[in-house]
């Protein structure tokens, strides 16, 4: 008697997915996982809102005054330079060569020691 | 602060406005000044100019520095009425002070010998030709005067605020590191660990004479280095210690010695004519007398 294995006919895959589709599904799944994780664990933004969002208007205070435009004293014409009362020993120095007095280096004296120096006189 | 040894004592340099390196460089200048003076004026170095002068048997051609020192010594002899006299070199040798002092080094079992009488007036100075004629019995000693003079000279190498202390003879430049003067402790001659009084000194010098340190045994008695020119023996005085504040260390050294030898009464009379000199006199009972312009520190 010839026996023949009669195996049941092999069932096909439940989802018939080829290799290309499998890669797409894998990439999509990883991207989704990444986005969900980012949404849950990313630190809160510490910088100012993005530039295209409107900035909140500054709250005016009682002492607030319009800020005048800043200008370097040396950039003013000499006739418009205001007189400045400097503390004793201070001088206005030059911002570029030939624009004013140049400070010379001042030797720095060492501070005297905190302990009082005592001399002892005696016969010797 | 930098310490060095010179002229048988400890020399201390305080220059608080300098860096550590600057203070060390200044102290090196001070050391060179003391070494130069010691080489010329030491009584104990056979090759010194003073030793050669003390050996000379004919008029001696002295260096300008030696002539200047002898001329100043002559003026001090007159100023002190002879209480200071550099001709006591022979008397010092007779008392036993014939080598560099160290505690115990001069002790002898035999009593002191009779000193040869000598006066600086017996020495002839020819300032124009730089010649010194010394009688054989006169031995010169300029030790204290030269120590003071060298301190004055060496202090010129220091900044405006500095102190140079040569074993109790100190030059105090400026108003001290804190601007309120240099604080100078005057030692108690009866107990060197104690301070009798503290002076505040600016731009002046200070020197002290006493018989409590540089002394030695001769037989059953103590001898010391402060020789009374009138007797040729260690001075017997009612003062235990004299401290002088003067414009220079040389003058302070000379006057401290002269007042000590003179005693309290004659010392006061000597100082009465010297209005710029301050003095602290201590007697053998420990009583302290302040004379002339002195500023006592408030915490003393």
* Residue A32 falls inside a structural domain: yes
Please check whether residue B169 touches A, CB under 8 A: yes
Instruction: Name the nearest CA neighbour of B40 among B196, B129, B150, B179.
Output: B150
Distance, CA of B188 to CA of B282 (rounded, Å): 9
* Residue A35 falls inside a structural domain: yes
Sign of CA dihedral B115, B118, B120, B123: negative
Instruction: Name the nearest CA neighbour of B280 among B205, B221, B197, B223.
Output: B197
Length of chain A: 124
Amino acid A90: pLDDT: 78
* Residue A27 falls inside a structural domain: yes
In the predicted model, is pLDDT for residue A10 greater than 70? Answer: no
Dihedral-angle region of residue B27 (phi above 0 means left; psi in -120 to 50 means alpha; beta otherwise):
alpha
Instruction: Name the nearest CA neighbour of B277 among B228, B226, B209, B204.
Output: B204
The percent of chain A in helix, strand and coil, each rounded to the nearest 5, is 25, 5, 75
pLDDT-above-70 percentage for chain A: 46
* Residue A24 falls inside a structural domain: yes
* CB within 8 Å of chain A, chain B residues 7-36: 9, 12, 14, 16-19
Amino acid B300: pLDDT: 47
Which residues from B are below 8 Å from A121, CB to CB?
Answer: 168-170, 184-187, 206-208, 243
Half-sphere exposure of B107 (CA within 13 A, CB side): 6
A-B C-beta contacts closer than 8 Å = 80
* Residue A33 falls inside a structural domain: yes
- For chain B, list residues with pLDDT below 70: 299-300
Which residues from A are below 8 Å from B192, CB to CB?
Answer: 122
Q: Regarding predicted confidence, which is higher, A118 or A59?
A: A118
B209 to chain A: nearest residue by CA?
A123
Burial of A117 from C-beta contacts in 10 A (0-12 / 13-18 / 19+): middle
* Tokens matching residue B14: 């305080």
Of B182, B212, B213, the CB nearest to A119: B182
Q: Say what angle helices B64-79 and B20-41 make with each other, to 10 degrees.
A: 80
Amino acid A96: pLDDT: 60
Q: Centre a 10 Å sphere on the Cβ of residue B51 and count the other Cβ atoms it contains.
A: 18
Q: Regarding predicted confidence, which is higher, B294 or A14?
A: B294
* Residue A37 falls inside a structural domain: yes
Amino acid A64: pLDDT: 54
Distance, CA of B253 to CA of B152 (rounded, Å): 11
* Tokens matching residue A13: 């895959």
Sign of CA dihedral A14, A17, A19, A24: negative
Task: Give me chain A's average pLDDT, please.
Answer: 70
Q: How confident is the model at residue A42 (pLDDT cuts 50, 70, 90)?
A: confident
Least Cα separation, residue B266 to chain A (angstroms): 20
Interface residue of B16, B146, B200 to substitute, partner A, most A CBs within 10 Å: B16
Which residues from A are below 8 Å from B9, CB to CB?
Answer: 124
Least Cα separation, residue B136 to chain A (angstroms): 29
* Residue-range domain boundaries for chain B: 2-291
Using one digit for the tens of pLDDT, what is the confidence trace for A90-111? 776 665 655 555 555 555 555 4
* Residue A11 falls inside a structural domain: no
- Strands B227-228, B2-6: pairing is unpaired
Distance, CA of B115 to CA of B299 (rounded, Å): 46
DSSP state for residue B226 in the 8-state scheme: -
Q: What are phi and psi of B109, to 5 degrees?
A: -80, -25
Least Cα separation, residue B27 to chain A (angstroms): 16
Amino acid B97: pLDDT: 85
Stretch A46-53: mean pLDDT, rounded?
54
Q: Do A124 and B184 touch (CB under 8 A)?
A: no
Stretch A11-33: mean pLDDT, rounded?
83
Distance, CA of B165 to CA of B297 (rounded, Å): 19
* Residue A103 falls inside a structural domain: no
Cα maximum dimension of chain B: 57
- B82 and B230 Cβ atoms separated by less than 8 Å: yes
- Structurally, chain A folds into a number of domains equal to 1
Residue B228 CA to chain centroid, in angstroms?
Answer: 14
Q: Regarding predicted confidence, which is higher, B241 or A78?
A: B241
Strand partners, B215: B224
Q: Which fold has domain B2-291?
A: T-fold (3.10.520)
DSSP sequence for B130-184: TEEE--TT-B---HHHHHHHHHHHHHTTS-SSEEEEETTEEEEETT-TTSS-EEE
Amino acid B151: pLDDT: 98
- B227 and B234 Cβ atoms separated by less than 8 Å: yes
Amino acid A1: pLDDT: 47
Residue A30's domain comprises 19-43
- B286 and B280 Cβ atoms separated by less than 8 Å: no
Amino acid A14: pLDDT: 65
Half-sphere exposure of A73 (CA within 13 A, CB side): 10
Q: Regarding predicted confidence, which is higher, B211 or A12?
A: B211
Distance, CA of B176 to CA of B201 (rounded, Å): 8
Using one digit for the tens of pLDDT, what is the confidence trace for B195-214? 999 999 999 999 999 998 88
Of A116, A118, A122, the CB nearest to B168: A122
* Tokens matching residue B53: 């002068």
- The position carrying tokens 């004479």 is B209
């Amino acid at each position: 008697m010839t026996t023949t294995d009669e195996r049941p006919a092999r069932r096909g895959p439940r989802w018939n997915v080829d290799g290309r589709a499998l890669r797409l599904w894998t990439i999509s799944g990883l991207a989704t996982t990444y986005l969900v994780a980012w949404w849950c664990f990313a630190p809160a933004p510490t910088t100012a809102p993005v530039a295209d969002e409107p900035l909140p208007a500054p709250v005016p205070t009682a002492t607030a005054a319009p800020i005048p435009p800043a200008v370097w004293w040396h950039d003013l014409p000499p006739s418009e330079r205001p007189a400045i009362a400097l503390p004793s020993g201070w001088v206005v120095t030059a911002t570029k060569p030939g624009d004013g007095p140049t400070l010379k280096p001042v030797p720095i004296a060492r501070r005297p020691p905190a302990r009082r120096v005592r001399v002892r006189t005696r016969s010797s | 602060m930098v310490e060095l040894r010179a002229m048988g004592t400890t020399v201390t340099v305080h220059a608080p406005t300098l860096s550590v390196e600057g203070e060390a460089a200044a102290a090196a200048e001070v050391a060179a000044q003391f070494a130069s003076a010691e080489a010329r004026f030491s009584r104990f170095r056979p090759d010194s100019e003073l030793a050669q002068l003390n050996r000379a048997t004919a008029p001696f051609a002295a260096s300008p520095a030696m002539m200047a020192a002898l001329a100043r010594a002559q003026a001090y002899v007159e100023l002190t009425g002879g209480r200071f006299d550099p001709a006591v070199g022979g008397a010092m040798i007779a008392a036993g002070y014939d080598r560099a002092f160290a505690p115990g080094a001069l002790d002898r079992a035999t009593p002191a010998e009779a000193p040869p009488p000598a006066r600086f007036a017996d020495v002839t100075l020819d300032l124009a030709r730089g010649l010194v004629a010394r009688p054989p019995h006169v031995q010169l000693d300029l030790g204290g005067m030269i120590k003071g003079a060298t301190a004055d000279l060496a202090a010129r190498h220091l900044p405006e605020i500095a102190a140079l202390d040569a074993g109790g003879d100190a030059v105090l430049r400026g108003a001290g590191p804190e601007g309120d003067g240099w604080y100078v402790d005057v030692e108690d001659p009866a107990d060197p660990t104690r301070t009798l009084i503290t002076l505040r000194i600016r731009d002046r010098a200070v020197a002290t004479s006493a018989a409590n340190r540089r002394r030695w045994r001769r037989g059953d008695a103590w001898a010391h280095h402060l020789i009374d020119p009138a007797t040729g023996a260690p001075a017997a005085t009612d003062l235990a210690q004299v401290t002088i504040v003067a414009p220079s260390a040389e003058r302070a050294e000379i006057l401290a010695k002269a007042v000590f030898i003179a005693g309290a009464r004659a010392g006061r009379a000597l100082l009465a004519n010297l209005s710029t000199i301050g003095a602290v006199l201590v007697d053998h009972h420990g009583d302290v007398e302040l004379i002339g312009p002195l500023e006592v520190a408030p915490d003393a």
